[in-house]
Amino acid sequence: MILIDVWSDFTASHRCAEGELHEHDWEVVATFRAPAYTDARIYRLALDTLLAGWEWTELPPELDWSEDICAAVMKLTDCVDVRVTRQGQRIAVRLA
């Protein structure tokens, strides 16, 4: 088995703890456990497809926090680790 990292990004708005609606750029790195010689593009497509549904939207309350985004990405098949980064705020959350 090997570990494959794929990453993508998306821009969306969400409500902070105080209820203010604002926008962020999120970068998401997902790690997948796979057999050797697996085509990494399969995992990149899965991540891109998930994030495309959130692009330029207002995230629902269940995705308001980076931890929630991590948990949603972790549901992808074979995913074993996720890191969500908001570069502008120098904040990252990791779920393993």
Give residue 61's pLDDT.
93
Chain position carrying tokens 């549901």 = 75
Give residue 17's pLDDT.
83
Give the three-class secondary structure for 43.
helix
Of the candidates 11, 78, 72, 70, the residue with the CA atom closest to the CA atom of residue 40: 78
Evaluate if residue 85 carries a pLDDT over 90: yes
Of the candidates 47, 4, 3, the residue with the CA atom closest to the CA atom of residue 26: 47
Phi, psi of 95 (to 5 degrees): -125, 125
Supply 76's token pair. Answer: 């992808």
Q: Does domain 2-95 have CATH number 3.30.479.10?
A: yes
- What digits encode the pLDDT tens for the residues 1-20? 999 999 999 999 998 888 89
- What digits encode the pLDDT tens for the residues 40-53? 999 999 999 999 99
